Amino acid sequence: MINCLIIDDEQPAIEIIEDYVKKVPYMKCVATTTNPVEGLAIINKENINLVFLDIQMPYLTGIDFVKAIQGKCKVIFTTAYDKFAIEGFELDIIDYLLKPVPFTRFLKAAQKAFDIFETEENKKPAAGLPNYIMLRGDTKGSFVKVELTDIDYIEATGNYVCVVCGNKKIIAHTKMSTLENLLPAEQFIRVQKSYIVNIFKIATINGNSIKLKNNEKADIIIGSTYKEAFLEIVRNRLADN
Protein backbone atom coordinates (compact mmCIF):
# COMPACT_ATOMS: atom_id res chain seq x y z
CA MET A 1 0.00 0.00 0.00
CA ILE A 2 1.30 3.44 -0.97
CA ASN A 3 0.53 5.97 1.78
CA CYS A 4 -0.21 9.36 0.23
CA LEU A 5 -0.22 12.98 1.38
CA ILE A 6 -1.98 15.65 -0.71
CA ILE A 7 -0.82 19.26 -0.45
CA ASP A 8 -2.52 22.08 -2.34
CA ASP A 9 -3.53 25.59 -1.26
CA GLU A 10 -6.90 25.11 -2.98
CA GLN A 11 -9.30 22.72 -1.20
CA PRO A 12 -11.27 21.80 -4.38
CA ALA A 13 -8.02 20.64 -6.00
CA ILE A 14 -7.29 18.48 -2.95
CA GLU A 15 -10.72 16.89 -3.12
CA ILE A 16 -10.23 15.89 -6.77
CA ILE A 17 -6.91 14.16 -6.11
CA GLU A 18 -8.24 12.59 -2.91
CA ASP A 19 -11.15 11.13 -4.84
CA TYR A 20 -8.73 9.74 -7.44
CA VAL A 21 -6.56 8.15 -4.75
CA LYS A 22 -9.61 6.39 -3.28
CA LYS A 23 -10.27 4.81 -6.67
CA VAL A 24 -6.82 3.19 -6.80
CA PRO A 25 -6.69 -0.05 -4.74
CA TYR A 26 -2.98 0.15 -3.92
CA MET A 27 -3.11 3.75 -2.64
CA LYS A 28 -4.29 5.23 0.65
CA CYS A 29 -4.76 8.91 1.48
CA VAL A 30 -3.25 9.36 4.95
CA ALA A 31 -3.65 13.15 5.16
CA THR A 32 -4.35 16.34 3.25
CA THR A 33 -3.44 19.96 3.94
CA THR A 34 -3.58 23.39 2.32
CA ASN A 35 -0.45 24.44 4.20
CA PRO A 36 2.92 23.11 2.92
CA VAL A 37 4.60 23.88 6.26
CA GLU A 38 2.05 21.65 7.97
CA GLY A 39 2.81 19.08 5.27
CA LEU A 40 6.43 18.94 6.46
CA ALA A 41 5.21 18.16 9.97
CA ILE A 42 2.95 15.41 8.66
CA ILE A 43 5.85 13.75 6.82
CA ASN A 44 7.91 13.79 10.01
CA LYS A 45 5.05 12.24 11.98
CA GLU A 46 3.36 9.80 9.59
CA ASN A 47 4.61 7.02 7.33
CA ILE A 48 4.19 8.85 4.01
CA ASN A 49 5.45 7.23 0.79
CA LEU A 50 4.14 9.63 -1.83
CA VAL A 51 3.15 13.32 -1.91
CA PHE A 52 0.83 14.86 -4.49
CA LEU A 53 2.15 18.41 -4.40
CA ASP A 54 1.09 21.75 -5.83
CA ILE A 55 3.90 24.16 -6.77
CA GLN A 56 2.59 27.72 -6.46
CA MET A 57 1.67 27.97 -2.77
CA PRO A 58 2.14 30.56 -0.01
CA TYR A 59 4.93 30.21 2.59
CA LEU A 60 6.67 27.41 0.70
CA THR A 61 6.70 26.52 -2.99
CA GLY A 62 6.51 22.92 -4.15
CA ILE A 63 10.11 23.18 -5.40
CA ASP A 64 11.32 24.33 -1.98
CA PHE A 65 9.22 21.64 -0.33
CA VAL A 66 10.91 18.85 -2.31
CA LYS A 67 14.32 20.21 -1.36
CA ALA A 68 13.27 20.40 2.30
CA ILE A 69 12.14 16.76 2.62
CA GLN A 70 15.50 15.52 1.26
CA GLY A 71 14.17 12.37 -0.35
CA LYS A 72 12.11 11.15 2.62
CA CYS A 73 9.29 10.31 0.23
CA LYS A 74 8.47 10.41 -3.48
CA VAL A 75 6.66 13.34 -5.12
CA ILE A 76 4.21 13.86 -7.97
CA PHE A 77 3.61 17.50 -8.87
CA THR A 78 0.02 18.61 -9.54
CA THR A 79 0.07 22.15 -10.94
CA ALA A 80 -1.51 24.53 -13.44
CA TYR A 81 1.92 25.64 -14.69
CA ASP A 82 4.16 23.69 -17.05
CA LYS A 83 7.18 26.00 -16.66
CA PHE A 84 8.52 24.07 -13.64
CA ALA A 85 8.58 20.67 -15.35
CA ILE A 86 12.31 20.55 -16.10
CA GLU A 87 13.25 21.72 -12.61
CA GLY A 88 10.83 19.21 -11.14
CA PHE A 89 12.32 16.24 -12.95
CA GLU A 90 15.81 17.41 -12.00
CA LEU A 91 14.60 16.98 -8.41
CA ASP A 92 13.76 13.35 -9.23
CA ILE A 93 9.98 13.63 -8.98
CA ILE A 94 7.94 10.69 -10.27
CA ASP A 95 5.59 12.64 -12.54
CA TYR A 96 4.27 16.10 -13.42
CA LEU A 97 0.48 16.42 -13.70
CA LEU A 98 -1.10 19.51 -15.22
CA LYS A 99 -4.45 20.75 -13.88
CA PRO A 100 -7.18 19.99 -14.53
CA VAL A 101 -5.89 16.42 -14.09
CA PRO A 102 -7.91 13.75 -15.97
CA PHE A 103 -8.30 10.49 -14.07
CA THR A 104 -6.67 8.52 -16.90
CA ARG A 105 -3.55 10.70 -16.62
CA PHE A 106 -3.60 10.37 -12.83
CA LEU A 107 -3.84 6.60 -13.14
CA LYS A 108 -0.80 6.54 -15.41
CA ALA A 109 1.21 8.44 -12.78
CA ALA A 110 -0.11 6.16 -10.03
CA GLN A 111 1.01 3.07 -11.93
CA LYS A 112 4.41 4.63 -12.50
CA ALA A 113 4.71 5.21 -8.74
CA PHE A 114 3.63 1.63 -8.05
CA ASP A 115 6.29 0.25 -10.41
CA ILE A 116 9.00 2.38 -8.76
CA PHE A 117 8.05 1.32 -5.23
CA GLU A 118 7.80 -2.34 -6.25
CA THR A 119 11.24 -2.24 -7.89
CA GLU A 120 12.77 -0.64 -4.80
CA GLU A 121 11.12 -3.21 -2.54
CA ASN A 122 12.46 -6.09 -4.62
CA LYS A 123 15.98 -4.67 -4.38
CA LYS A 124 15.90 -4.73 -0.58
CA PRO A 125 17.81 -7.56 1.07
CA ALA A 126 15.80 -10.30 2.75
CA ALA A 127 14.54 -9.28 6.16
CA GLY A 128 17.66 -10.22 8.06
CA LEU A 129 16.88 -13.91 8.36
CA PRO A 130 19.91 -16.24 8.31
CA ASN A 131 19.73 -18.99 5.72
CA TYR A 132 22.26 -21.36 7.28
CA ILE A 133 23.91 -22.42 10.52
CA MET A 134 27.46 -23.61 11.19
CA LEU A 135 28.00 -26.81 13.20
CA ARG A 136 31.25 -28.13 14.60
CA GLY A 137 32.57 -31.06 12.61
CA ASP A 138 34.02 -34.40 13.79
CA THR A 139 37.58 -33.12 13.88
CA LYS A 140 39.01 -30.17 15.81
CA GLY A 141 38.69 -26.87 13.94
CA SER A 142 36.29 -28.27 11.33
CA PHE A 143 32.80 -26.91 10.68
CA VAL A 144 29.79 -28.02 8.64
CA LYS A 145 27.55 -25.50 6.92
CA VAL A 146 23.88 -26.54 6.98
CA GLU A 147 21.25 -24.74 4.90
CA LEU A 148 18.10 -24.08 6.94
CA THR A 149 15.88 -25.15 4.06
CA ASP A 150 17.50 -28.62 4.17
CA ILE A 151 16.70 -29.27 7.82
CA ASP A 152 13.67 -31.49 8.57
CA TYR A 153 14.05 -31.60 12.32
CA ILE A 154 16.61 -31.53 15.12
CA GLU A 155 16.77 -34.12 17.89
CA ALA A 156 18.61 -33.84 21.20
CA THR A 157 20.70 -36.89 22.14
CA GLY A 158 22.49 -36.40 25.45
CA ASN A 159 25.19 -33.76 25.08
CA TYR A 160 24.76 -33.77 21.30
CA VAL A 161 22.14 -32.79 18.78
CA CYS A 162 21.27 -34.66 15.60
CA VAL A 163 20.34 -32.41 12.68
CA VAL A 164 18.27 -34.46 10.24
CA CYS A 165 18.20 -33.43 6.57
CA GLY A 166 16.29 -36.12 4.68
CA ASN A 167 18.45 -39.26 4.80
CA LYS A 168 21.44 -37.30 6.10
CA LYS A 169 22.17 -36.92 9.81
CA ILE A 170 24.69 -34.45 11.22
CA ILE A 171 25.83 -34.91 14.82
CA ALA A 172 27.01 -31.77 16.60
CA HIS A 173 28.32 -31.20 20.11
CA THR A 174 26.07 -28.35 21.24
CA LYS A 175 23.07 -27.67 23.46
CA MET A 176 19.53 -27.73 22.10
CA SER A 177 18.86 -24.31 23.63
CA THR A 178 21.92 -22.82 21.92
CA LEU A 179 20.77 -24.12 18.56
CA GLU A 180 17.21 -22.96 19.15
CA ASN A 181 18.42 -19.40 19.70
CA LEU A 182 20.23 -19.45 16.35
CA LEU A 183 17.20 -20.58 14.36
CA PRO A 184 14.55 -18.13 13.04
CA ALA A 185 11.30 -18.54 14.98
CA GLU A 186 9.36 -17.94 11.76
CA GLN A 187 10.67 -21.25 10.43
CA PHE A 188 11.51 -23.49 13.40
CA ILE A 189 9.55 -24.39 16.52
CA ARG A 190 10.30 -26.60 19.48
CA VAL A 191 7.54 -29.21 19.80
CA GLN A 192 8.99 -31.07 22.77
CA LYS A 193 12.07 -31.03 24.98
CA SER A 194 14.07 -33.14 22.53
CA TYR A 195 12.73 -31.96 19.15
CA ILE A 196 12.75 -28.82 17.00
CA VAL A 197 10.80 -29.03 13.74
CA ASN A 198 11.05 -27.07 10.50
CA ILE A 199 7.49 -25.73 10.11
CA PHE A 200 7.81 -25.71 6.33
CA LYS A 201 8.55 -29.46 6.29
CA ILE A 202 5.39 -30.52 8.15
CA ALA A 203 3.09 -32.69 6.01
CA THR A 204 0.33 -33.61 8.48
CA ILE A 205 -0.65 -33.17 12.12
CA ASN A 206 -2.81 -35.88 13.62
CA GLY A 207 -3.58 -35.36 17.28
CA ASN A 208 -0.18 -35.10 18.96
CA SER A 209 1.69 -36.66 16.05
CA ILE A 210 3.62 -34.74 13.38
CA LYS A 211 4.53 -36.28 10.02
CA LEU A 212 7.13 -34.64 7.78
CA LYS A 213 7.13 -34.29 3.99
CA ASN A 214 10.59 -35.64 3.24
CA ASN A 215 10.91 -38.06 6.13
CA GLU A 216 8.10 -40.59 6.31
CA LYS A 217 9.80 -42.59 9.05
CA ALA A 218 9.86 -39.68 11.47
CA ASP A 219 6.89 -39.63 13.83
CA ILE A 220 7.40 -36.72 16.21
CA ILE A 221 5.15 -36.39 19.23
CA ILE A 222 4.15 -32.91 20.43
CA GLY A 223 5.02 -32.46 24.10
CA SER A 224 2.38 -31.09 26.47
CA THR A 225 4.61 -28.15 27.51
CA TYR A 226 4.97 -26.93 23.91
CA LYS A 227 1.59 -27.97 22.51
CA GLU A 228 -0.33 -24.71 23.04
CA ALA A 229 2.33 -22.53 21.38
CA PHE A 230 2.60 -24.94 18.47
CA LEU A 231 -1.16 -25.17 17.92
CA GLU A 232 -1.44 -21.38 18.06
CA ILE A 233 0.86 -21.18 15.03
CA VAL A 234 -1.21 -23.83 13.27
CA ARG A 235 -4.46 -21.97 14.00
CA ASN A 236 -3.02 -18.71 12.66
CA ARG A 237 -2.27 -20.40 9.35
CA LEU A 238 -5.56 -22.24 8.88
CA ALA A 239 -7.00 -21.64 5.41
CA ASP A 240 -10.55 -21.39 6.77
CA ASN A 241 -9.83 -18.67 9.35
Residue closest to 42 by CA, chosen among 57, 53, 27, 31:
31
Beta bridge pairs of residue 164: 153, 169
Those residues whose C-beta lies under 8 Å from the C-beta of residue 237, and which sit 6 or more positions away, are none
CATH 3.40.50.720 holds for 132-236 = no
Look over the chain and give the mean of its residue pLDDT values, rounded to a whole number. 88
Is CATH 3.40.50.2300 what the domain over 2-123 is classified as, yes or no? yes
Residue ranges per structural domain of the chain? 2-123, 132-236
**pLDDT for position 113:** 93
pLDDT tens figures, 150-164: 999 999 988 889 999
Cis amide bond preceding 100, omega within 30: yes
Q: Give the Cα separation of 113 and 2 in Å (integer).
A: 9
C-alpha dist (Å) from residue 115 to 94, 109, 118, 120, 125: 11, 10, 5, 9, 18
pLDDT score, position 128:
53
Q: Pseudo-torsion of CA 78, 80, 86, 88, nearest 10°? A: -30
The yes-or-no answer to whether 2-123 and 132-236 have a common fold is no
Strand partners, 190: 196
How much is the pTM?
Answer: 0.54
Q: What is the pLDDT of residues 91-126, one digit of tens each?
A: 999 999 999 999 999 999 999 999 898 877 755 544
- Cβ(195)–Cβ(220) under 8 Å? yes
